[in-house]
Amino acid sequence: MWVNPKEVYANTLWHNEKLSVYFLLQHRVGHGQGNKLSSLLVGTFDSLFETKPSPYRILHQTPKSEKCYEIACALTESDILKDWEWLENNLDLKIFENEDDVTDFVFCKIKSLVATNASETLDEENSESFKDATIKFHRLFNISRDTNLVCYYSCSYLKNIVPHQGWLYLSVDYLCFYSYLLGIEYKIVVRWTDVINLDKNTGVLTDTIKVITRDKREYRFCMFLHSSEAFDLMKQLVNIAMKGIINDRWFNKDHDLLLKANKYVSKKQSFMKRDLDARAMSESYRLLFRLPLNEKLNGITNALLINMYTKKSVFGQLYLSQNFLCFNSSKTKDPLNVVIPLCDVSQVEKIEHNKDMSFDNAVIITLKQTSANEKPSFFIFSQILKRDFFLKNISDLLGSLETRSSFKFQGTDSISDKEIKQPLRFIFGTKDQDNSIIKIKQRTKEVKWELYFNDHGDSISMYKTKELVKLVLDGIPESLRSNLWLKFSGAYHDMVANPGLYNELVNIASTTKSISHDEIERDLHRSLPEHPAFQSEIGINALRRVLTAYATKNPQIGYCQAMNIIASVLLIYCTEEEAFWLLACICENMLPDYYNNKVVGALVDQRVMDNLIANNLPFIYDILSRLGLIQMISLSWFLTIFLSVMNYQSAIHIVDWFFFDGAKVIFQVALSILEMNHKRLACCRDDGEAMQTLCNYLSGIYNEEFEQSDLYKDGDKIDRSVSVQELINNGYTKFKSVNSKMIENLRVMNRLKVVQSLEDGNEKNIVRLLHLDNYFSSNELMDLLKFVREEVVSVHKRTHVQPLKAETPMEPYESYRIDFHLFETMFTAISPLAKNSGTNNLSVRLFKLMDMNDDGFLNFRELTIALGLTSTVDVTTRLKILYLLHLSPLLSNDSLSSTDPNISESGAEYASDAAEYFNTNISSDIICESNLNDLQTLRSITTNWKKSSICLPIMSEDRFIELCKTMYDLIGNSTIDQEILNNISKISTNLLELGNLNKEESNKSENRNDSEWFINAEQFVATALTVQKLVEFIGARGNVLKALQELRNIYM
């Protein structure tokens, strides 16, 4: 690699390798040499200081000069030799007379080479020193190239209090540490997916980061510098790993980021680090403005927003992303939040030549007119530092927007539909709605809101100020709910972006059948049964449509109980389409992972809740732990936003606030509830009593607006406890400190614990289930599972696996899918039957046999059966398996084993190649039909091995020859024992004769003359058993633990 020439000192750390008149090829002492003291010291020196010079370099030096210039360096000898050759072949320096001219020419040449190379290298993403670190990282830890290094930090690893100075490497999949000090090497490799706890202790001089892994190992790292950055990054990476486990989705590099013309990014960082930082920033950006999930932040700049309603100007940050322009000023005493969808923007212009100072560097943004007689609204931002850059960016974005129709709401519904699809409260008025006092109260509220709208706008781009918070806390009037819920939650954006999708999904859902649909059906009448709308088919049908449409949209969630309760309440105030989008927004954006197949998100938040109780209400935490109620009370509060625990007219107020302020509202209300019940809880003697207390309290919560009407639960009148307004106000004022950022933070840590404990449970379950198969001991199963986990839960092996739908009922072991490559590795390591490198590749056939659903993957149980039948069962059975593996459905012709392992690196593709191979071979076979059937027969034999005395099909002569070959391969490979080879040939001959006898016999008994040569399994087994050495060899019990350990050593 050419480098810009720089002066260096030829010192003793370098050895000369090659010399020419003007050039000098050197390698660094201690690189790849023996353990002499000098090499040892240099090694230490390198790893302590991040000089990390490349071990090879080329210097330019003229004979009369003292000065040396480094012009090339490389990590490997071959690389440097290439450069050397190039110099020898391309630089004709004899033409120069003056040495300085030579140097000038060399410099010029090298510089141009550096320049062209830099533009050529694809890997421009990363800076040089980082690249070196990446190479070192991959080399040191022998980790696959697909794993990107994100960042590395100098730190020391505390081993029994003794610090070892070295480097911490953080990659997307692993945490690694390396130190090399006076001949002692420490290497640590931890998968993020195996981390169960992360912790940081701040000390006086140094911070200590503690990492605990699944196997209960604890690592402590001390850092002087950058500890917070490193810790944040570790949290982010571990969180990505946990989310990967939850969703079966893995990290993908964001290549958009590469294309982004961002001049302000420091080149020192790795591309991955930039990517991750960008993700984190986009994440908090989306959270701040409630934007759709895929929105990526482009940039932030300071600006002054001139409020067109009040004429006051506010200082804050202007955010720009693909589809939105947002403004936020949270630090001033008048917080303000504005979201402008770019698709609503009609014009962006500079304002020039204005005398008013506050219009310096100003931009005016005009929105499209929504209706003909309305004045277009506009926003003025001033004091934008890089205004031209900003303008260029925003016009690029506007240009690339798909032009969306601004008349998106019209013309999708036919008129008859409309009637049904309007909010249910119009059709099913409750008696409260006719109550004049309530009407007046509603009207008063509406007036207040109208006043607000006049001053701040009422579109999606309204100014959201402190006043708005007050209004929301007072409750949104019924007539405005759907509109404001959509705008506050951000569901509006998705709805606008996908016109007609809801109707489409309803149509699809109405013609399909699924488990989700059945589950939904069961719950339709158990959603909001007290409301008249859901005592009628109209309400029930609407609810069915919304829920099944959502299950169709997002099969990974499908349907989770609790969604029915939320959806039914939404339907009272919103049209079906609106309810649908709000539900989607809750499930995917506001309460992430809540409703997936393990309700992980809710479990996480339950733990977050416990942390919050411990921090904010320690006395209550003590009471709850005494009663054993930690992690028990709040699940339904979260899953249904309180709708299932109090009457919906009260809970709806919480929902109002929830849509406005996000998930933190649930926590604030929950804390408020607990705090208000402090005394009552303190008196409780056991968990039951406490649950009852809370339950009564919750059902007694009432809405001040309906003060006159009585409260009922399940048809019984009940006493009031507190008004929901008071509850909310209490929560809002007392638990202000509980903000979104804090919750996100706590979620990361608790997600780790939840995911790992679910995984633990899952593992135990699998081991317990498979232990019943009796092939392996629990210990062995655990180790096998661990190994598979380690391998499968690595990025590149999972990405192409389709995420499983939530509704497919699954045995726990089915969630691990083993591709052919991994299977072959394990089979070869464990089974004595795999100890052949001959022509008959048993692993392909065994894989085919066990892959019951032909999808190119074994599940974990199939894997253990395959391994068990070939390495732990008694020798008779193993011989039968050997026999079976040579029967026609599996061995369709001889070229079977020639499947070229080089076809592809990826195991899965290889496996599917193998599968394809089989299929084509089998179908080209004369008896393809019966062949496939036979395969099924063989499979059922394999799975029912222990149950019945199975009768294996007979074997024809050509198959038998293959079988003999395999036996030779098996033995021949490991021993050169002539005697055993003789024995095998003897039994082969015997069996061949036996086959002939069989043929004659059957010809005779059935009176025909067309019988073929055959033997049966019993004959084969009985004969094979006579060769003691063969029995010993094939019957050897595979040592799983040892084999896996060896595999790990190779891999790591």
Partner 1 sequence: MATRKKVLLKVIILGDSSVGKTSLMNQYVNKKFTNQYKATIGADFLTKEVMVDDRIVTMQVSKPAPGPNPLCASIWDTAGQERFQSLGVAFYRGADCCVLVFDVTSPGSFKSLDGWRDEFLIQASPSDPDHFPFVVLGNKVDLDNRAVSTKRAQQWCQSKNGLPYFETSAKEAVNVEQAFKTIARNALAQESDVELYNEFPDQIKLDGGSSDNRSSGGDNCAC
Ligand X SMILES: Nc1nc2c(ncn2[C@@H]2O[C@H](COP(=O)(O)OP(=O)(O)OP(=O)(O)O)[C@@H](O)[C@H]2O)c(=O)[nH]1
Q: How far is the CB of 522 from partner 1 (least distance, A)?
A: 4
Residue 675: name its binding partner from ligand X, partner 1, none (Cβ under 5 to 8 Å by kind).
Answer: none
How near is the Cβ of 523 to ligand X at its closest, in Å? 7
User: Please, which residue, 268 or 525, has the CB nearer to ligand X?
Assistant: 525
Q: Which of 276, 290, 289 is nearest to 239 (CA)?
A: 276
Q: What is the 3 state secondary structure string of 952-1021?
A: CCCEEHHHHHHHHHHHHHHHHHHCCCHHHHHHHHHHHHHHHHHHHHHHHHHHHHCCCCCCCCEECHHHHH
* 739-768 positions binding partner 1, by CB under 8 A: 758, 761, 764-765, 768
How many angstroms separate the CA atoms of 397 and 378, rounded?
18
Is residue 647 near partner 1 by the rule CB under 8 A? no
List the one residue from 368, 525, 768, 1037 that touches ligand X (CB under 6 A): 525
CB contact at 8 A, 176 and 143: yes
DSSP track, 705-748:
GGTTSPEEETTEEE----BHHHHHHHHHHHTTT--HHHHHHHHH
- Residues between 698 and 727 with contacts to ligand X, criterion CB under 6 A: none
What count of Cα atoms within 13 Å lies in the side-chain half-sphere of residue 274?
21
Which of 75/632 has CB closer to partner 1?
A: 632
Does 519 bind partner 1 (CB under 8 A)? Our answer is yes
522 binds partner 1 (CB under 8 A): yes
Query: Which residue, among 31, 28, 20, 15, has the nearest Cα to 85 in the 3D structure?
Result: 20
Pattern 547-566, binding to partner 1, x per CB under 8 A? -------------xxx-xx-
Residues between 308 and 347 that touch partner 1 (CB under 8 A): none
Report residue 696: phi and psi, to 5°: -65, -45
Q: Are 460 and 492 in contact (CB under 8 A)?
A: yes
- For partner 1, the closer of residues 620 and 646 by Cβ is 646
Angle at Cα 257 formed by Cα 793 and Cα 176, nearest 5°?
40
The least distance separating partner 1 from the CB of residue 634, rounded to whole angstroms, comes to: 8
Residue 643 CB, nearest approach to ligand X (Å): 15
Q: Which residues of 554-570 are buried (b: 16+ CB within 10 A; e: fewer)?
A: bbbbbbbbbbbbbbbbb
Pick the piece of the chain touching partner 1 (CB under 8 A) from 159-167, 630-638, 865-873, 995-1003: 630-638
Q: Which of residues 788-827 bind partner 1 (CB under 8 A)?
A: 806, 809
Smallest distance from ligand X to CB 525, Å:
6
Binding mask 585-604 for partner 1 (x = CB under 8 A): -----------xxxx---x-
Number of other CB atoms surrounding residue 214 within 10 Å: 17
Q: What are phi and psi of 721, to 5 degrees?
A: -115, -60
618 binds partner 1 (CB under 8 A): no
For 254, the 3-state DSSP assignment is coil
Which one, 645 or 748, has the nearer CB to ligand X? 645
Determine the Cα–Cα distance for residues 59 and 9; give it in Å rounded to an integer: 10
Min separation Cβ 680 and partner 1, Å? 15
By CB under 8 A, the count of residues binding partner 1 is 43
d(CA 880, CA 888): 14
First to last CA, the chain: 29
Residues 654-713 binding partner 1 (CB under 8 A) are 686-689, 691-692, 695
Map tokens 């690595």 to a residue: 794
Among residues 526, 946, 986, 1042, which is the contact residue for partner 1, using CB under 8 A? Answer: 526
* DSSP labels, 345-374: EEEEEEE-S-SSGGGTTEEEEEEPPSSTTS
Q: What Cα–Cα distance (Å) separates residue 397 from each residue in 297, 325, 341, 391, 946?
A: 12, 10, 11, 10, 66
Does 526 interact with ligand X (rule: CB under 6 A)? yes
Nearer to ligand X, 526 or 1042 (CB): 526
**Would you say 519 or 704 has its CB closer to partner 1?**
519
Work out whether 635 is an interface residue with partner 1 (CB under 8 A): yes
Phi-psi region of 98 (alpha: psi -120 to 50; beta: other; left: phi over 0): beta
Name which of partner 1, ligand X, none residue 565 binds, using a CB cut-off of 5 to 8 Å depending on partner kind: partner 1
Closer of 282 and 640 to partner 1 (Cβ): 640
904 binds, among ligand X, partner 1, none (CB under 5 to 8 A by kind): none
Structure tokens, 409 = 């709401």
Tell the smallest beta-carbon distance from residue 758 to partner 1 (Å): 6
Build a one-symbol-per-residue string for 470-509: x at contacts with partner 1 by CB under 8 A, - elsewhere: ----------------------------------------
Closest CB to ligand X: residue number: 526
List of residues contacting ligand X (CB under 6 A): 525-526
Residues of this chain that bind partner 1 (CB under 8 A): 519, 522-523, 525-530, 560-562, 564-565, 596-599, 603, 631-632, 635-636, 639-640, 644, 686-689, 691-692, 695, 714-716, 758, 761, 764-765, 768, 806, 809
